[in-house]
Structure 1
Amino acid sequence: MGNKRIVVIFPGANYSADCPLLYYAGFKFELRGYEKISISYDNFLKQDKSFEECLCDIKNSVLSQLHNSNLPKYDDIVFVSKSIGTVVAGWVEEELCIKVRHIFLTPIEETLPYIKYGKGIAAVIAGTEDKQLDADVLKEHCKKENIYLKQIQGVGHRLEVWGDMDRNIEILREVVAIY
């Protein structure tokens, strides 16, 4: 049988799996024969709770969403994650004790403990103007851990330039090529 492959899409707080970077990640992997699961956080981030409490609720929800997928049966597991999803994806890999290849899009500070040498991280992609995680901090961390980092000049957390459709399509093309 063998060669069962799956991609799991972990969205950001305000960046769903249907937004361009994640939509095309799932689409590209599906074209390669991967099964796809898109995670949803429901309304956990809209609750009147602390970030840590929301994150705990999200982690529990994600485990429940992945419960029937039996990830260990797959020969190749890819997690494509964005923003808060990068924290959740890193945590899920450790919680389920599975071997995963990660593509981290715009990680946040809480993701840094999961961005480690030897963890199967294919790429970390972020903008140089990201307000969620200082570009220099991320660059130094990835350098120290020997992790491939693609920093896109002049863009923030959404990896977009407001009002410049041509540049946004270029960025999307650049990022999708890495997948």
Structure 2
Amino acid sequence: MDNKKLAVIFPGMGYHSDKPLLYFSKRIARENSYEIIEVNYKFPHKAREIMNDKIRMQEAFETAADQIKEVLGNISFEDYSDVIFIGKSIGTALAAHFDNELQVGARHLVFTPVPQTFDIIRKNAGVVFHGLDDPWCPNDVAEAKCKELELTLYTVDKANHSLETKHVATDIRNLQDIMQKAEQFLLQG
């Protein structure tokens, strides 16, 4: 192991790696000598069609997992001194699933998790960023599960599932703070 580092990006349903949270965290990882792998998947439904529908949510998860399996199954994770999974929304649950299934032991940078993420993610696996106006994950769930699982929780006031508010200037300040915290976490590896 030559101190090689790997960051795997797990996007959300409508939140791809060219959007701010994933785009900038990917750039920070690259600047800090991480090899980047982005997994991509296509879903049978749009995000708004599966909200609060457990069956469709499970179908979306399984569809994405099948598409990811081929990419991640070919990676020798043991060749890396540090592996970080960077996920957004359903991507956070997929990251936790593959961390367990492939026994990676990855560190997790979790942007706006879905509640199912907390059923899968390992104890003390990383940091969670959660918007206090996120309709996908109730605040009490995020707070209780992060405490139970010893995950560091950062909340963003009045922020939605994209960690955005109704004010651009506020979003820019928040994004800077989020990325500083993400980089601090990344540098711990």
TM-score by structure 2 length? 0.86
Matched, 1:157 2:143: no
SS of alignment partner, residue 119 of structure 2: helix
Point out where structure 1 has 5 or more consecutive residues left out of the alignment.
Answer: none
Which residue number corresponds to residue 16 of structure 2?
16
Instruction: Quote the RMSD (CA, aligned, Å).
Output: 1.7
Map Cα deviations across residues 10-38 of structure 1 (whole Å, 9 max, x no partner). Answer: 11111001101000011001000000011
How many angstroms apart in 2 are the aligned matches of 1:5 and 1:12?
23
Q: Distance in 1 between matches of 2:32 and 2:176?
A: 17
**1:116 CA drift (Å):** 4.0
Equivalents in 1 of 2:43, 2:62: separation in Å?
13
1:171 to 170, 174, 179: 174
Moved over 6 A (4+): none
Partner residue of 2:138 out of 117, 134, 141: 134
CA distance in 1, matches of 2:15, 2:139: 20
Residue in structure 2 matched with residue 88 of structure 1 by the alignment: 94
| Percent of aligned pairs sharing the same letter | 30
Q: Is the 8 A contact 1:115 1:142 kept in 2?
A: no
Q: CA deviation at 1:161?
A: 1.4
Counterpart CA distance in 2 for 1:45 and 1:9 is 21
In structure 2, stretches of 5+ residues that fail to align are 50-54, 183-189
CA distance in 2, matches of 1:78, 1:152: 22
- 2:185: which partner in 1? none
